[in-house]
Structure 1
Amino acid sequence: MPRRRLHMTGADGAALRTALRALRTRLGVPEGFPPEVLAEAGRAAAAPRLPDHDATDLPLFTIDPPASVDLDQAMHLAKRPAGGYRVHYAIADVAAFVTPGGALDAEAHRRVTTLYFPDERVPLHPPVLSEGAASLLPDRTRPALLWRLDLDSDGRVETAEVRRALVRSRAKLDYDGVQKAIDSGTAEPSLALLKDIGTLREVLETERGGISLDVPEQEVVAQDGSYALAYRAPLPADGWNAQISLMTGMAAADLMLASGTGVLRTLPAAPDGAVGRLRRAATALRIDWPHHVPYARLVRSLDPHLPAHAAFLQECTALLRGAGYTVFTGGQTPDRALHAAVAAPYAHCTAPLRRLVDRYTGELCVAAVAGTEPPAWVTGALDALPREMAEGTRLANTVERECVDLVEAALLKDRVGQTFEATVIDVREQEPTVGTVHLEDPAVVGRVESPAAPLPLGDRIRVRLTHADPGTSKILFTPA
């Protein structure tokens, strides 16, 4: 799912880091792990529970940002002799290290998810596991849940199974390098198939009415001894890689539904008025959206490298609000089983190093394929998982929102009184003197208040920055 992630790059950010430390304190974000958790993690790292099946002959590779070391997934792609494709997708086996009911398990249930700040990461598990013994680092033998998905020539999943196995990644790749290798024709055969399979899966997504948002990442970059905000637009390789994960999540949901026990990631259809609000934003950003064109088709036509399109894609995330987790047991099909953006049943199962629920869905899928009952530690925790995940997701969203506000305020605090070119992308229906503007330089979306006249929706105007306070993480503009 889309997330606007901030990164610190370049310049000295001492003041900003001080404000971010204060934010972590205010939100109650843990600074470190208790000694008993670190001790248990150290013992687990030295002696994990290893599976019997050896799949280290598979030449797997990972695709992640260059600095990432918490590597959840590795893959190998091949053509099947009779036609179609075979995808091997290895997921870090966190359950091989975590003892149910132990200190490490309890701490994971308190944290629920990894939290991302511009200056640091607050991990779900101690780094000795998440960045070491459990991570699918290259040239290291690791326990994993190894998926095998056989696809037909159109990219549809014909069979899916998962089992525990020892795996060994051969290479740690990054998105830029993958894109260049595929575009230049120098990619090895397995990597080259990422484009073929990813593109087929994107076509299938369109056919079923699903939507993947290529939401740009906002970056803090050094510029002329100061700071600037910019967007990093996703590459096609980002989308192809995401399709492998989405396909696995859909296969996991199908396995659990067939077994009668599971936990799904669900999302209701967009509420009334949400699409209308997006149409207003499209008009404001000069994006042509004919009434006969469905929302999903419009989104796929956008270029995230263009500032107006990037701003619109950020607005589109409003349609993804209301996602949650649905547990079902006893063979009962849940009333709420679909994820509106995926347009199919879907489960989180590919990021257990960074998200608590994935450890449980992985275990449920292994049991479903084996035809055995899930472990008691899994079924006993299911009822509480939706609440735990909701609380953890709420904190993660708060962190994201407040980090964006804080960084924007910190980077603009010395520019109060200056004017900027902006586009009015939203105006309150009941209060037309209040709205939202999108600045192209710097890449900021902020609140604007007009003293008297209604704001001109869709117009480019000059605005004056009247307030930027890192202490309150607020910025405010008025028409110049």
Structure 2
Amino acid sequence: MSLAMQLPDLHELAERVMRERGLLPAFAPQALREAEAARVAGPERKGDIRDLRHLEWFSIDNDDTRDLDQLSVAEPLPQGATRLLVAVADVDAMVRPGGAVNEHAETNTTSVYTAAGTFPMLPEVLSTDLTSLHEGQERLAVVVDMQVQADGSVTQAQIYRAAVLNRAKLTYDAVSLWLDGEGPAPHQLAQVPALEEQLRLHDALAERLRQWRHRRGALNVKTVSARPVFEEGRLVDLRPDEKNRAKDLIADLMIAANAATARFLVDQGFPSLRRFLQSPRRWDRIEALAAEHGVTLPDAPDPVALDRFLCERRRADPEGFADLSLRVVKMLGPGEYAAAPPGAAGEGHFGLAVSDYAHSTAPNRRYPDLVTQRLLKAALAGDAPPYSFEALAAVARHCTLQEDNANRVERQVLKAAAAWLLRDRIGESFDAIVTGAAAKGTFVRIARPLLEGRLVRGHEGADVGDALRVRLLSVDPQQGFIDFERA
């Protein structure tokens, strides 16, 4: 089978698996018409909207990202404090509840990113155009305006609507290389006054926010995902898409904004939709992992002690830290959504060391963020909550389920691509980490190429987080099967 035949097959596979998982691969005609009509009608502009277009807003994202969800700008304050403003695209202004577009988003709850392409949560006329914070385009946004102290604590925050203007669309790789002193300055620095000062201020601020969370037990992990690599339209590899300094910078700012959003809804007496990660059920496995490296962890889950162990291992073995991180992340388990009653604090996020946390900064690609935005806007307008606690609990359950389904689709399509790449490597051995162990099967991940397969022989006694040596037995690109045995 030629490679040219594979790419259409991957797209067909993605559509089929999405349907099997209860996800919609295509928009209904009514949703597409509704999205086009929004271009003519424009965004809803009711209420108090501040004009903040004069500020030096900018974005940092992937090179090919067109659905820009957030901008930021910062201002130094006396005594080492900093004012940080995060502007989130006002998607609700163009996606009405009860409409066909919202129905599609409510069903899928997320954009699905596969090796065959992206299946967006919103029609592209919205997500990559009208509700995207494009460079040089005036847009409506919900702004989280925070005061960050010199120690990294957020002591004040207010939320309001505003008109904003993106002055520069920067990219993770270019900004990261420049900040690390390994690459030239992004060309926008010569075009936008004060942009270099903004980036330096953001970098220092993100470090303070990060250190404040680490002192409280935020986990210092290094996660890696697989990125399909194409040359002249042909799939040639699956390479690690690793974190870098600019990605960490944006993540730290968004964590602060998400936490401030959750606290605002508590203060307003509103119910809310929270993202949480419970204390690990497999803490005994994490204790055993630390013991392998001569470290004794407390008997009860302790994020500060775990982060101290992780930091030590990062310094001692930087090359092997990604694999160690994967083992820990798998033992921690996935995050979930849950509803919090009016005015009540939600469940904490073990991995981020944040007690109140609500996804709010990516409404173009995550439905929970759009729901949270509607709650925020209702609170700002003095209206009643648009969702009851019971309705939010149902949304939370559905979003958690669909997030898992989307992840499964992404993995299956990636495995189909990976199976094709491995077709000539039957019998080779690889270092692997066990990523899943249940009645349905035991799964392992290898690093080069970065992919996951099933351990069909020698899986007895293997548990999540174990490091193994495996041998490739067989592949089936059509089914996305990659089978290993313990070597």
TM-score by length of 1: 0.84
How many percent identity over aligned positions?
27
Mean alpha-carbon deviation: is it higher for 371-380 or for 438-447? 371-380
Describe the shift of the 1:259–1:203 C-alpha distance in structure 2 as closer, same or farther (beyond 3 A).
same
Query: 1:346 corresponds to which letter in structure 2?
Result: Y
Whole-angstrom CA distance in 2 between matches of 1:248 and 1:452: 43
1:207 and 2:215 correspond: yes
Q: 2:366 aligns with which of 330, 355, 363?
A: 355
1:337: which partner in 2?
347
Whole-angstrom CA distance in 2 between matches of 1:349 and 1:101: 20
Whole-angstrom CA distance in 2 between matches of 1:204 and 1:210: 9
What runs of 5+ residues in structure 2 fail to find an aligned partner?
Answer: 186-194, 298-303
Query: 1:385 corresponds to which letter in structure 2?
Result: V
Whole-angstrom CA distance in 1 between matches of 2:436 and 2:371: 43
Whole-angstrom CA distance in 1 between matches of 2:438 and 2:32: 53
Deviation of 1:257 (Å) = 1.6
1:474: which partner in 2?
481
Whole-angstrom CA distance in 2 between matches of 1:324 and 1:402: 21
Decide whether the 8 Å contact of 2:275 with 2:358 is kept in 1.
yes
What runs of 5+ residues in structure 1 fail to find an aligned partner?
Answer: 1-10
Decide whether the 8 Å contact of 2:348 with 2:356 is kept in 1.
yes
Deviation of 1:230 (Å) = 2.5
1:60: which partner in 2?
57
Query: 1:100 corresponds to which letter in structure 2?
Result: P
Describe the shift of the 1:449–1:328 C-alpha distance in structure 2 as closer, same or farther (beyond 3 A).
closer
- What secondary structure sits across from 2:479 in the alignment? coil
Alignment RMSD? 3.5
Decide whether the 8 Å contact of 2:468 with 2:486 is kept in 1.
no
Deviation of 1:135 (Å) = 0.2
What do the CA deviations read for 1:203-259 (whole angstroms, capped 9, x no partner)? Answer: 111111122533112123369x98333213211221121010000111111111222
Describe the shift of the 1:161–1:366 C-alpha distance in structure 2 as closer, same or farther (beyond 3 A).
farther
- What secondary structure sits across from 2:275 in the alignment? strand
Describe the shift of the 1:446–1:247 C-alpha distance in structure 2 as closer, same or farther (beyond 3 A).
same
1:159 and 2:151 correspond: no
1:22 and 2:17 correspond: no
1:78 and 2:60 correspond: no
Decide whether the 8 Å contact of 1:91 with 1:145 is kept in 2.
yes
1:407: which partner in 2?
417
1:397: which partner in 2?
407
- What secondary structure sits across from 1:471 in the alignment? coil
1:309 and 2:303 correspond: no
Describe the shift of the 1:316–1:401 C-alpha distance in structure 2 as closer, same or farther (beyond 3 A).
farther
Decide whether the 8 Å contact of 1:85 with 1:155 is kept in 2.
no
Q: 2:259 aligns with which of 250, 254, 258?
A: 250
Map 1:60-139 to 2 at 5 A: 60-81=57-78, 83-139=80-136
Whole-angstrom CA distance in 1 between matches of 2:177 and 2:137: 26
2:29: which partner in 1?
35
2:227: which partner in 1?
219
1:6: which partner in 2?
none
Mean alpha-carbon deviation: is it higher for 126-135 or for 288-297? 288-297
Whole-angstrom CA distance in 1 between matches of 2:312 and 2:245: 13
Describe the shift of the 1:43–1:216 C-alpha distance in structure 2 as closer, same or farther (beyond 3 A).
same
Query: 2:206 corresponds to which letter in structure 1?
Result: G
Describe the shift of the 1:399–1:315 C-alpha distance in structure 2 as closer, same or farther (beyond 3 A).
farther
- What secondary structure sits across from 1:113 in the alignment? coil
Whole-angstrom CA distance in 2 between matches of 1:414 and 1:250: 48
Query: 1:255 corresponds to which letter in structure 2?
Result: F
Q: 1:295 aligns with which of 306, 310, 313?
A: 306
What do the CA deviations read for 1:349-394 (whole angstroms, capped 9, x no partner)? Answer: 00100111112212323444x4823454677953431133123212
- What secondary structure sits across from 2:141 in the alignment? strand
Mean alpha-carbon deviation: is it higher for 253-262 or for 211-220? 211-220
Q: 2:277 aligns with which of 254, 257, 267?
A: 267
What do the CA deviations read for 1:260-285 (whole angstroms, capped 9, x no partner)? Answer: 222221221100xx2443466678xx
Map 1:169-180 to 2 at 5 A: 169-180=166-177
Whole-angstrom CA distance in 2 between matches of 1:426 and 1:263: 28
2:300: which partner in 1?
none
TM-score by length of 2: 0.83
Whole-angstrom CA distance in 1 between matches of 2:429 and 2:230: 20
